[in-house]
Amino acid sequence: MSLQKTIESDFLVAYKAKEETRVGTLRMLKAALKNRQVELLRELSDDDVLEVIGRQAKQRKESIEQFDAAGRTDLSAKEHAELAILEAYLPRQLSDAELAAAVDAAVAQVGASGMKDMGAVMKALMAAHKGAIDGAKASAAVRARLA
Q: Where in the chain is the domain with CATH 1.10.10.410?
A: 96-146
The percentage of residues in the chain with a pLDDT greater than 70, rounded to a whole number, is 100
Q: What single string gives the DSSP state of each residue in the chain?
A: --HHHHHHHHHHHHHHTT-HHHHHHHHHHHHHHHHHHHHHTSPPPHHHHHHHHHHHHHHHHHHHHHHHHHT-HHHHHHHHHHHHHHHTTSPPPPPHHHHHHHHHHHHHHHT--SGGGHHHHHHHHHHHTTTTS-HHHHHHHHHHHH-
Q: What is the pTM of this model?
A: 0.83
For residue 104, name the pLDDT band (cuts at 50, 70, 90). Answer: very high
Instruction: Give the pLDDT of residue 147.
Output: 83
Instruction: Give the pLDDT of residue 114.
Output: 83
Kindly tell me if the per-residue pLDDT of 141 is higher than 80. Answer: yes
Instruction: Give the pLDDT of residue 17.
Output: 97
For residue 61, name the pLDDT band (cuts at 50, 70, 90). Answer: very high
Q: Where in the chain is the domain with CATH 1.10.1510.10?
A: 3-87
Specify the fold of 96-146.
Arc Repressor Mutant, subunit A (1.10.10)
Give the mean pLDDT of the chain: 93
The CATH number of domain 3-87, selected from 1.20.272.10, 1.10.260.40, 1.10.1510.10, 3.10.100.10? 1.10.1510.10
